[in-house]
Amino acid sequence: MPGTGSLRPRLASSAPLLLDGGTGTGLSARLTELRPGGNLARLNLENPEAVVGLHEDHLRAGADVLRTNSFCASSQELGADDAPYTAEQVSRAAAELARAAARRLDAAALCLGVIGPGAGTSEGVQPAGGDPGRIRGLLAGGVDGILAETLPGVRAARLIASAVREVTPSTPLLLSFSLTPEGRLPEGGSMEELARVASELEADLVGLNCAFGPEPMDPPLTALRAAWRGPLGAWPNAGLPTLVNREWEWPVSPDAMASWCARAVRAQALQIVGGCCGTTAGHVAAIAHALRSSGGAPRP
């Protein structure tokens, strides 16, 4: 059932939630005929079965949480791709497709409406991430919460959080940040500042995602856990890909990602864990097995 209000109780539980795999890279691998650089969000209306099929693969592998295919579904980004749809249409379809996949498999999955930062996160500029049409569409499609991910810093987080709260004062809001190779925020600032601002914004969860694979995430994640006592998440990508025979290969294997996730859950008491770009249903299945074997996570 969409929008059941079950996300906050699940975040308060001792059992970590497992995310699905990478949506953009998963769709690109699934549909090799895609135009390079094309906006994948338009697939919600042009090839919905591909999107539902990817969600189903992740659910079968053991995912507890589906992320909508809406990372680039702002009006600005769709317009740059000459897509003949509104942000609200594409985003509502994104949420409905995730729900459809869960219904087909009779899975009690949570659904997070994804917002990417897009372009224009400078002060005084309305970011693509703050597009109210996308926010309205995700809510209309029945998401359990809004996830703004791959954020470059607290300025982008403030802008997007403000836009979300103007549309919906009470929907759970999750904020996740991506880092430089040195483990810093691209916009600058420390993990302590990030935690302080997230508290001011009343974020339901703070996380780190994407970046340069799991191991480089360890020091900043440790620093963030020391500064933030609320629900914490981490979903690194599968490393930096290389192009081999015109196909991207990602260096972090399912077993390596699963080992890191199980260790991070124990060390940092993560409430959401998983992978970002380059992670597949195989990664999700390996992480699910590792979490079952490790027995969950202690509370912070």
| 107 Cβ neighbours under 8 A, 6+ residues apart | 59, 101
- pTM of the prediction? 0.94
DSSP structure string for 162-196: HHHHHH-SSS-EEEEE---TTS--TT---HHHHHH
Provide the pLDDT for residue 121.
46
Distance, CA of 300 to CA of 294 (rounded, Å): 17
Does 125 score more than 50 pLDDT? no
User: Residue 217 CA to chain centroid, in angstroms?
Assistant: 16
End-to-end alpha-carbon separation of the chain, Å?
30
Domain 7-294 has CATH 3.20.20.330: yes
Residues 2-12 have pLDDT tens digits of 455 699 999 99
DSSP structure string for 11-37: HTSSSPEEB---HHHHHHHH-TTSPTT
Distance, CA of 158 to CA of 271 (rounded, Å): 23
Highest mean pLDDT among 116-120, 184-188, 229-233: 229-233
Model confidence at 106, pLDDT cuts 50, 70, 90, reads very high
Sequence ranges of the domains in the chain: 7-294
Residue 130 · residue 138 · CB < 8 Å: no
Model confidence at 123, pLDDT cuts 50, 70, 90, reads very low
Q: Residue 236's beta-bridge partner residues?
A: 210
